């Protein structure tokens, strides 16, 4: 009688079970959805820093004036309350703001928008000038509830 060398059914099932448990632990530890959400929050931070820097640079080059869209250099319609940025109704069109030099393309190549839900009509970013005259740009994050930059 010849004896064959092979794995038994129990050994195979045990090996498959151990691999399954290790795979489950690995996927749970990595949590790809959370990692993707963190990456989108990082993109949001980069975007609002870029927007705030463009506004600050405009202001620095124009004697402290903030970019506006009213066409009158003596007045400013830069939002004093939190207002969405975009070309849609109710939003502040920051890209076209600036009487002589618009923000787009002079200070930003294109207007950034939220990687999940934003578009040109409503970037899902907001802007305002606070009571102390500081520029505040903010976004709603997935991991962090509020992402904000004040300059």
Q: Is the model's pTM score more than 0.85?
A: no
Question: Torsions phi, psi of 55, nearest 5?
Answer: -65, -45
Q: What percent of the chain has pLDDT over 70?
A: 99
Distance CA 101, CA 68 (A): 11
What pLDDT, on a 0 to 100 scale, did the predictor assign at position 13?
94
pLDDT at 52 over 90: yes
What pLDDT, on a 0 to 100 scale, did the predictor assign at position 41?
93
Asked if 43 and 106 touch (Cβ cutoff 8 Å), the reply is: no
What pLDDT, on a 0 to 100 scale, did the predictor assign at position 18?
94
Helix then strand then coil, in percent of the chain rounded to 5, is 40, 15, 50
pLDDT at 109 over 80: yes
What is the average pLDDT value for the chain, to the nearest integer?
89
């Amino acid at each position: 009688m010849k004896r064959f060398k092979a794995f038994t059914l129990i050994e195979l099932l045990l090996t498959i079970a151990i691999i399954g448990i290790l795979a489950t632990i690995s996927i749970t530890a990595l949590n790809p959805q959370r990692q993707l959400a963190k990456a989108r929050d990082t993109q949001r931070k980069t975007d609002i820093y870029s927007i705030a820097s463009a506004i600050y640079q405009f202001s620095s080059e124009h004697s402290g004036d903030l970019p506006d869209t009213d066409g009158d250099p003596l007045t400013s319609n830069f939002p004093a309350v939190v207002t969405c940025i975009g070309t849609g109704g109710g939003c502040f069109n920051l890209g076209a703001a600036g009487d002589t030099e618009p923000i787009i393309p002079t200070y930003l190549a294109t207007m950034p928008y939220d990687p999940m839900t934003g578009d040109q009509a409503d970037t899902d970013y907001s802007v305002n000038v606070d009571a102390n005259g500081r520029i505040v740009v903010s976004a709603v994050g997935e991991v962090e509830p509020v992402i904000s930059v004040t300059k």
